[in-house]
Amino acid sequence: METKHIIIDRKNVNEEELREAASIIREGKLVAFPTETVYGLGGDALDASAAKRIYEAKGRPSDNPLIVHIADVAALSFLAVDIPDAAYQLAKEFWPGPLTMILKKSDVVPKSTTGGLDTVAIRFPSDEIAQAIIRLSGCYIAAPSANASGRPSTTCAEHVMEDLNGRIEMVVDGGPVRIGLESTILDLTEKIPVILRPGYITKQQLENCIGKVRVDKGIMKTKKEEGAAVVAKAPGMKYRHYAPKGQLTIYEGESSSVISCINQKIAEKMKEGALVGIIATEETKDSYIGGMIRSIGSRYDEEAIAAHLFQILREFDSLHAEYIYSESFTDNRLGHAIMNRLMKAAGYNIEKV
């Protein structure tokens, strides 16, 4: 099939152009569209065959559940049952926005959307284009990240085309996304809600709203085996994610030691004739010698780091980098989500120096 690529001017969103996208979704077919977090690959969440198409297009294992996107809070009580008050408090505070809530599913949601689970993940995105497509389609839209399974999530339409061209009906191009990391996922089916995936909305923000929140034990493990042990609750976590084609190693420690270790590695690998990529920062980019050096942003600007991470990993793929060396970042606030994605991309391969 030919994938249609339509470009939307955010300053002047013309709903007519989005009607075609909405009607494709209504027909049970697939459209990728921007959200504030990453691009999503959308299909009708209540149509089991649309869900099946999503899994096929991405090459995603069918036990990895999809997030259902809504454009009005009232949809919660249609899609979910036994909804705790905390869910409404969180909705009031953070929706529309980058927070996904896991709740017990109602009978209308097919298990093919939830990867066979009795729970459903729900999010109300703030992106205007996403909201318009949901509204115009009259559907609830299942939309996992619009990347081929295993590759870094997509933060612009060109990356979506790289992975899904010819596999889906349409890409709605709204330019680069604002945040660049996927939503925070909070499981509200437990007595004390549990963060299953860190994101832009932090633990502190959630606790300020509803009181105590736990972080799933597996989220921040430094060893591969421990990281792999997480999974019972968020099935998606067991799969390799965000992985670049090259072998990624993270270096953690004093900046000067990290730089000198990475420089040694660059020299060693280049001597072998290998292609080497370096994920540096504005502060350090001039300290590396050789290799393909990319600044992810200032070390003090977590928003910039988040926005550039997946893009840099993809760039190194297109440059055929065989080895990638990255600095590590602080593990607080948004840094928690950044390190979570970076560690997964590296297969938990981190060197303390």
Binding site for ligand AMP (CB under 6 A): 64-67, 102, 114, 117, 119-121, 144-145, 182, 185, 196, 233-237
Q: How are the residues of the chain apportioned to helix, strand and coil, as percentages rounded to the nearest 5?
A: 35, 20, 45
Nearer to Mg ion, 40 or 291 (CB): 40
User: What residues between 143 and 182 interact with Mg ion by CB under 5 A?
Assistant: 145
Structure tokens, 202: 């932090």
Residue 202 interacting with Mg ion (CB under 5 A): no
Residue whose structure tokens are 């980098």: 321
334 binding partner (options Mg ion, ligand AMP, none; Cβ < 5 to 8 Å by kind):
none
Running DSSP on this structure, what letter comes out for residue 59? T
Nearer to ligand AMP, 43 or 291 (CB): 43
97 binding partner (options ligand AMP, Mg ion, none; Cβ < 5 to 8 Å by kind):
none
Residue 35 interacting with Mg ion (CB under 5 A): no
The least distance separating ligand AMP from the CB of residue 24, rounded to whole angstroms, comes to: 19
Nearer to ligand AMP, 120 or 248 (CB): 120
The least distance separating ligand AMP from the CB of residue 3, rounded to whole angstroms, comes to: 19
Judged by DSSP in three states, 107 sits in coil
65 binding partner (options Mg ion, ligand AMP, none; Cβ < 5 to 8 Å by kind):
ligand AMP
- Phi-psi region at 290: left, alpha or beta (left = phi > 0; alpha = psi -120 to 50): left
List the beta bridge partners of residue 325. Answer: 249, 278
> How far is it, in rounded angstroms, from Cα 202 to Cα 346?
23
Sheet containing 323-327: order of strands = 292-295, 276-280, 323-327, 247-252, 350-352
Running DSSP on this structure, what letter comes out for residue 275? -
The least distance separating Mg ion from the CB of residue 326, rounded to whole angstroms, comes to: 20
Residue 281 interacting with Mg ion (CB under 5 A): no
Listed residue (341, 345, 350, 67) closest to 219, CA to CA: 341
List of residues contacting Mg ion (CB under 5 A): 145
